[in-house]
Each structure stands twice: as structure tokens, then as C-alpha cells.
Chains A and B, each alone.
Chain A
Amino acid sequence: SQQGEEDPQALSIQEGENATMNCSYKTSINNLQWYRQNSGRGLVHLILIRSNEREKHSGRLRVTLDTSKKSSSLLITASRAADTASYFCAILTGGGNKLTFGTGTQLKVEL
């Protein structure tokens, strides 16, 4: 399967702490994307990192990419209760047209 594997499957932290989620994949990629999904809702694009980039920042988000290990991580700093959601990594497959998602990490940030 080309689907990415994410760990942990679930993560529960206190507000203010950092949350780190990891994603591993199997194919070569041009880029890797991270998405967020609130319960019962659609997905929101968070950040894209290209294969020639090693790290990228956006606000409280920091994404790293290690193409030699075929892995990526998403770090959310100073987490807030509103960050509670599921987070998915995704890569383009099928000739670069289909977006294939990882298994996801359910993050719960408690007050």
C-alpha cells in the first residue's frame, strides 16, 4: 500500500505543550502535505513541503521531511484546545494526480 503510516494514532496533551506527529511513506514524492480534520468535517490544507526542502514553518506549525528515510513530522508548538482534531499526511500518487492519505493522528488538547 502506498498509504502513509502515521504515529501515534492518538495523542493527548495539555494546553501549552508541543505535539509531534510522524508520517512514513513508501514511494518517491515531489511533495508531502499535511491536513487537519475537525470531527465530522472536511479537510483543511495546513502546509506543503517539497521534496527538496527539509523544514518548513507556518505559524505554530513546523514540518520536517527526510526523503532518505521517507518520513515527515508535524510539530504543533504551544498547543491550544482548538487544535484538537485529526491530522493527516498526504502524498500524490497515481502519476501525481491522486492524493493518498496516511492513517492519521487524533490529537486531543486538554485544558
Chain B
Amino acid sequence: GAVVSQHPSRVICKSGTSVKIECRSLDFQATTMFWYRQFPKQSLMLMATSNEGSKATYEQGVEKDKFLINHASLTLSTLTVTSAHPEDSSFYICSARGRGGNYGYTFGSGTRLTVV
């Protein structure tokens, strides 16, 4: 079945630094990737949608200059949290969708970001 690998699973960084999270589709071409943010005991909130080779589309209220998304290939998307602050601490999850079909969203295992 489709597999999405997300790294790192956990990261701790200092305030002001940047952190990059990778999301790779291992056995299929991901034409679209999605990045979600999840606070403890809450639902997943979509941050942005990225299509290979084009700029990401951000949801309302998400700062595109703070959360940089790159989808340079059909198997890799990255989310970079720039100038991280403690309030950016959260669980970030990517999801990838291949060609065709109206379902078939495969999720990464998530990244726990803690900014100290």
C-alpha cells in the first residue's frame, strides 16, 4: 500500500531558529501534499496544500512567510518553520495524494515540534 514517510518524528529547537520537516511518498507519486497542524486533544487543521512544481496554497490565517512549503518533486514536500517561537510548538502531519480517485490520502506519522 501507499506509504508516506515523515521526518523527523520529534524535534526540539530554540526560539528564533528554523526547523525543516520532510514528507516523502515512498511508493507513489504524490501530485498533491497537505500539511496539517494539530494541538493536543484537538482536530487536524489544514495549513496549506502544495502541488508539485507550484506555489503552495495557504489556508486563511496561516502565515506563508513563517511556514515555508516546498514541493519540488513528486515524492518530496518540505515544511520549514522559520524563526520558531514557543507558540509554534505543535504536532505537524503531512498527507499525500496520488493521481486520480476521490480518496486515497496517506498520512505521515507526524512530527512533534517543541520550541524552547
Contact = CB atoms under 8 A, between A and B. Distances in A.
- A and B interact physically: yes
Interface of A: 3, 30-31, 33, 35, 40-45, 48, 88, 92, 94, 96-104, 106
Nearest to B108: A42
A92 to B, nearest CB: 7
Given A43-B107, A45-B105, A97-B49, 4 more contacts: A42-B4, A88-B44, A92-B102, A106-B41
Given A30-B102, A48-B103, A96-B102, A101 B109 contact: no
B46 A98 contact: yes
Q: Interface on chain A toward B: helix, strand, loop, or mixed SS?
A: strand
Given A42-B6, A43-B93, A99 B41 contact: no
Interface residues of B, number: 22
Contacts, number: 50
B110 A98 contact: no
Given A31-B102, A42-B93, A45-B103, A102 B43 contact: yes
Contacts of A45: 103, 105-106
B78 interface: no
Q: Interface on chain B toward A: helix, strand, loop, or mixed SS?
A: strand
Contact of A33 (B46, B103, B106): B103
B104 to A, nearest CB: 8
Which 5 A-B pairs rank lowest in CB-CB distance, beginning with the nearest?
A42-B107, A42-B109, A43-B107, A101-B44, A101-B43
A97 B103 CA distance: 9
Contacts of A104: 42-43
A99 B43 contact: no
Contacts of A88: 43-44
